[in-house]
Amino acid sequence: MINPLERLKTLINSSTPIIVLETLEEKRAISMVRMVCGQLHLPLFEWSIANGLVRSGSSGPLNAPPQTMAHPIGLSEQAPALIANTREPAQVLAHLETMSIDTVVILKDFHRHMDDPIVVRRLRDVGQKFCCPRRTLVLTGPSIEVPPELASLVEYVELPLPDAARLLQIVDDTFERLCWQRTLKRTLDSAGEHTLANNLRGLTEEEAERSLSQAVLARGALCPEVVTDVLDEKKSLLRHSGMLEFIDVSDNFGSIGGLENLKRWLEQRRGAWEQPARDFGLEPPRGVIIMGVQGCGKSLCARAIAGEWKLPLVKCDTAALFDKYVGGTEKHIKRLFQVCEELAPAVLWIDEMEKVFAGSEPGSASSDAGVSARLLGSFLSWMQDRTAPVFIVATSNNVTALPPELIRKGRFDELFFVDLPNTSERRAILALHLSRHKQNPAAFDLDKLAAATEGYSGAELDAAVQTAMYASFSTKKPVNTEAVLQALHCTVPLSTTRAEEIQALRQWAQHRAVPASLPESEHGDGR
């Protein structure tokens, strides 16, 4: 990955007229621009709608000591910092047109004013005049949509999320800064600090520093408890970001009744993202689509994969990806990819994927002005090009609504079909649910229950067990086989109410998907 500081330096040195730094981390962006200007001995000006055009107080990093902040162009300390009549966007651009010295100017949140044709015209004039000398405008903001008139004048610099080395530095810097304000202890060893840095992955520098500060101050020390506190805070931040939710998992393959073919396939890929597998010549597995009948364990599979492989599980909130502003959805998906790669190795769970991409095909009834199609394009590109070990588990109730280019080999490794459980699987599922509800499966006639539940999904079996327990609890009687059978007789399974849809799904999957379950004859007698 290109170092953003070096790229920014190269662009300014090569007379790039307009540079876009699209980021929520304004402080980090400005610090980086100041550092580059200090290295290149260029004056720096900063503009905002609140303050107008102001001569920057330094050309170095924000946290540099005051005595190191010099004025490289030799202006006196008494020179006025504020430039008069430059608060309005058109005014500051008019002033910049008259500049005759090499300089860098930061325009903060200038995207707010680029719907004004006069501002866009003046910005274009300034950019064209800045092409030859070493003069550059740097636009910073959380979301910047560049008008087509300016496209040929603009270059982009991306601020990546901090890597492990940078996060370790943030741990040191933050602790030292806090120690200036109060007395704090440092009892965390080197291994703990690396775990702490790993728990901060996926956050921006500002988020990482804030989370760490809160945890250290709450504990009064940089101690082992801070490692867990930071992880909890990260989960909260990801949840409030509106796109990703950090899921705690306690399930594993033992939590799934049946689906032995899917479990066997996943077991073969355990650890394939680690170095020994790479030395063997393997590439990390890309992902799997799990389609099938509702209530048959697709979501449980996503949790179990992460739990079995001991990887973090993040769930994509598909509804939150779509933004009412033009370009907002694309920026959300880009941010999602960035966070997932920083969390890698990780499992990304996309639930009910058809709801995201169903309107992406040409001629579809979708009225989202092509947003779904662009979202699909971004997703396909990322799936094809990513190198970070992010295993995608996509679940779907209606895979026929997905575009064919999404489900072809190369995007996902395999497409599995989860059908209603067969007899031996129902027996295993009933045993699991009874154990989970503090009942002894050996006290029940599981063969009789399995035979009586033909066409029932796993979720319906769980509901029947719970119904029997409610009835037994209210009558102060023990739960037994007859109580479960009675609960089953009061239930109409989905296979009856949605028989036609399930049959159509089976016919589609027959030659297009791999069965998640083994044939009944291949199950051992001990099941």
pLDDT tens across 401-440, in order? Answer: 888 888 877 788 999 999 999 999 999 999 999 999 999 9
Domain match, 26 and 106 both: yes
| Domain count for the chain | 4
Mean pLDDT rounded to a whole number for the chain: 85
Q: Is the residue at 430 inside a domain?
A: yes
Q: Is the residue at 397 inside a domain?
A: yes
CA 75 to CA 80: how far, in whole Å?
10
pLDDT (tens digit per residue) in 50-87: 999 999 864 333 333 333 333 333 333 334 457 888 89
Domain match, 365 and 439 both: no
Domain match, 464 and 444 both: yes
Domain match, 268 and 199 both: no
Lowest average pLDDT, out of 223-227, 231-235, 462-466, goes to 231-235
pLDDT at 69: 34
pLDDT at 468: 93
Cross-strand bridge partners of residue 55: 45
pLDDT at 527: 37
Helix (H), strand (E) at residue 174: helix 164-179
Q: Is the residue at 248 inside a domain?
A: no
Look at residues 395, 418, 441 and tell me which one is the last residue of a structural domain. 418
Q: Is the residue at 356 inside a domain?
A: yes
Map residue 313 onto helix, strand or coil: strand
Map residue 289 onto helix, strand or coil: strand
Residue 332 corresponds to which tokens in the numbers above?
């959300």
pLDDT at 327: 57
pLDDT at 76: 36
CATH number, domain of 430, equals 1.10.8.60
End-to-end CA distance of the chain: 51
pLDDT at 3: 87
Instruction: Over range 312-323, report the average pLDDT.
Output: 74
CA 309 to CA 327: how far, in whole Å?
36
Query: CA-CA distances (angstroms) from residue 378 to 273, 337, 343, 385, 406?
Result: 24, 10, 19, 11, 11
Q: Is the residue at 339 inside a domain?
A: yes
Domain match, 376 and 328 both: yes
pLDDT at 32: 94
Q: Is the residue at 460 inside a domain?
A: yes
- Look at the block and give the residue holding tokens 């497409």: 415
Domain match, 216 and 91 both: no
Instruction: Over range 237-262, report the average pLDDT.
Output: 83
pLDDT at 252: 87
Q: Tell whether the model's pLDDT for residue 180 goes beyond 70.
A: yes
Q: Is the residue at 527 inside a domain?
A: no
Domain region containing 267: 253-418
CA 18 to CA 26: how far, in whole Å?
17
With bands split at pLDDT 50, 70 and 90, how would you rate the model's confidence at 483? very high
Query: According to DSSP H, which parts of 65-163 are helical?
Result: 89-97, 117-129
pLDDT at 151: 92
Q: Tell whether the model's pLDDT for residue 44 goes beyond 60.
A: yes
Look at residues 418, 436, 467 and tell me which one is the last residue of a structural domain. 418
pLDDT (tens digit per residue) in 98-153: 988 999 999 999 999 999 999 999 999 999 999 877 899 999 998 888 999 999 99
* HEC sequence for 383-402: HHHCCCCEEEEEEECCHHHC
Look at residues 418, 437, 465 and tell me which one is the last residue of a structural domain. 418
Query: CA-CA distances (angstroms) from residue 187 to 193, 222, 224, 302?
Result: 10, 6, 7, 37
Q: Is the residue at 247 inside a domain?
A: no
Domain match, 281 and 414 both: yes
Domain match, 400 and 279 both: yes
